[in-house]
Amino acid sequence: DIGYGGQLSRANRWLTSQALRRAGRVTVGSATLTRLAAGYVNDERLITLPLGVDTALFTPETLRVCRKPEGSRRRLLHVASLSPVKDQATLLQTLALAAEELPQLHLRFVGDGPLRAALAAQVKTLGLVAQVSFDGDVAHDRLPALYRAADLFVLSSRYESQSLAALEAAACGCPVVGTAVGLLPELLGPQQLAP
């Protein structure tokens, strides 16, 4: 319904099936992708091998202290391209609901994309100008400091093959919540996942 994915056209579906059927080995990064590929590839050719993150770069500096003084700002971080598959519009609607009871929430978007103007307009419509900031694209080596400064990493994607941003956040010691896509159902408990 958002026009995303290689399986939308008959030609792409045929190309994918041919590539998977003819491959000597197929690696996938999550249980979800394993299930999708299993229709094309028998078990001995299918290898589940998630991508990792550079743990020399993405690492906590010190132990995190989760308690915050009453009334202090709660820093939420979302790192992704601003595109329909990342579903930031739903994230903003959720923030608006949460901010009614927790006005100290602040959501920082890191990344850019075709939806930036629409999301900025939605922020104004929802009355969230004080609670949302857009950083645009940030150099990869600057991300660890952003993850470490956040109280919570939030993922709102409708699809992920893995979600490297969530893995990077976790490697930096930042708690992660998000939609049940990519590796998140394999890494997080049900209380940290949204359908």
Q: Write the pLDDT tens digit of every residue in 22-67.
A: 999 999 988 888 888 888 888 789 998 888 999 999 999 865 555 5
pTM: 0.89
Average pLDDT of 112-122? Answer: 98
More confident residue, 182 or 138: 138
Write down the pLDDT at residue 67: 55
d(CA 152, CA 122): 22
Write down the pLDDT at residue 113: 97
Give the pLDDT band (50/70/90) at residue 148. very high
Most confident of 15-24, 49-58, 109-118: 109-118
CA dihedral sign of residues 55, 160, 118, 99: negative
Written as one string, the DSSP assignment of 46-109 is: EEE------TTTS--SS-------TTPPEEEEEES-SSGGG-HHHHHHHHHHHHHH-TTEEEEE
Strand, coil or helix: 25: coil
What integer best gives the mean pLDDT of the chain? 92
Q: State the residue for tokens 């992660």.
A: 176
Write down the pLDDT at residue 129: 97
* Cβ–Cβ < 8 Å for 58, 168: yes
pLDDT tens-digit series, residues 152-189: 999 999 999 889 999 999 999 999 999 999 889 999 99
Q: Are strands 74-79 and 152-155 parallel, antiparallel or unpaired?
A: parallel
d(CA 170, CA 176): 6
Strand, coil or helix: 156: coil
